[in-house]
Structure 1
Amino acid sequence: MSADAENKAIIRQLYEEVWNKRRLELVDEILSPSHALHDPNATGSAVGPEAYKRLVTRFITAFPDLRFIIEDSFGENEKLAIAWTISGTHKGEFMGIPATNKKVSVDGITIIHTVNAKVMDSYVSWDVWGLMHQLGVVPAFGEPKGVAAR
């Protein structure tokens, strides 16, 4: 299997098995012990598989029906970019916001670096403002102050 095909298989396993099927035990197989997650919206920086499991748990606790859809992926050798959409229903506290029971859909992108079939680094950027608007916490850009999603 080529490095590109191997990387794409790793990513499918991470999103489909770990996130969508809640198989957290696979995180140790997929991520390097020194994996660094860089997500300024959710974690800042976190190191290791256990930190990643805590992140997944935080999301799926707040959004029990959360699903990842990989929209696109591209890259070569040790680098891969993944465009994704998550969707789910806000049923538990998340980022200090109590459950709203609102359905949300948020786009994001992750850039990963692999070495020897393990994810070493993940750089994540996602539409946190869009999420906050969908939860009714902030107005959309251009809306008058005090107007949020209802």
Structure 2
Amino acid sequence: MGIEENKEIVRIFTERFGRGDNSVFDDMVTTDFLIHYLMRQGIDNDIDALKKTNDGGHAAFPDYSIEIVDMIAEDDKVMVIAKRTGTNTGEFSGLPPTGKTVTMYRMALYRLENGKIAEGWNLDDYLGQLLQLGFTLTPPSLNKGA
């Protein structure tokens, strides 16, 4: 596949995923698809876990939308910068809804094989999302006795 075809595959994948269409994992990724969440180390990254995560995100932010801000490609890789926006009207990470609208950016690099996405690296602004929801960042206490 050429660069433009790869970009179109990633564009369609991003838009469908953003609408909560989990069938993208059945028909647009390889059976051994691997995702690397750079800000969420140690989480499950199999297809079923990704579907569950997507469902949870849409339950917490039912009006969730995604806009592709930029996309570049070279060889078998496509890089996307996407802007995600949604209003927190459902439970999020075990917490009650805040009613706040948040905007979060994602940078994702995808590697394609034979017209399907085989691997992805995602970097999401989770801290920014939490701050917009009203969470606060408290630094650890300084140990003055050491």
Distance in 1, matches of 2:74 and 2:49, equals 27
Report 1 or 2 for greater relative contact order, CA contacts < 8 Å, sequence distance ≥ 6: 2
Whether the 8 Å contact between 2:7 and 2:73 is mirrored in structure 1 is no
- What's the C-alpha RMSD, in Å, of the aligned pairs? 2.0
Gaps of 5+ in 2: 138-146
Aligned to 2:112: 114
- The equivalent residue for 1:14 is 13
The answer to whether the 8 A contact 2:69-2:81 is kept is: yes
Equivalent AA in structure 2 for residue 4 of structure 1: I
Task: Answer with 10-19 or 122-131: which moved more.
Answer: 10-19
- For these two proteins, the number of residue pairs brought into alignment is 138
* Helix, strand or coil at the partner of 1:138: coil
Q: 5 Å matches for 1:87-106?
A: 87-106=85-104
Task: Please give the TM-score of this superposition, normalised by the length of structure 1.
Answer: 0.82
Residue 128 in 1 paired to residue 110 in 2? no
* Inter-CA distance 37–44: structure 2 relative to 1 (3 Å threshold): farther
- In the alignment, structure 1 segments of 5+ residues that lack a partner are 140-150
- What SS class does the counterpart of residue 15 from structure 1 fall into? helix
User: Percent identity among equivalent residues?
Assistant: 26
Q: Does 1:36 align with 2:26?
A: no
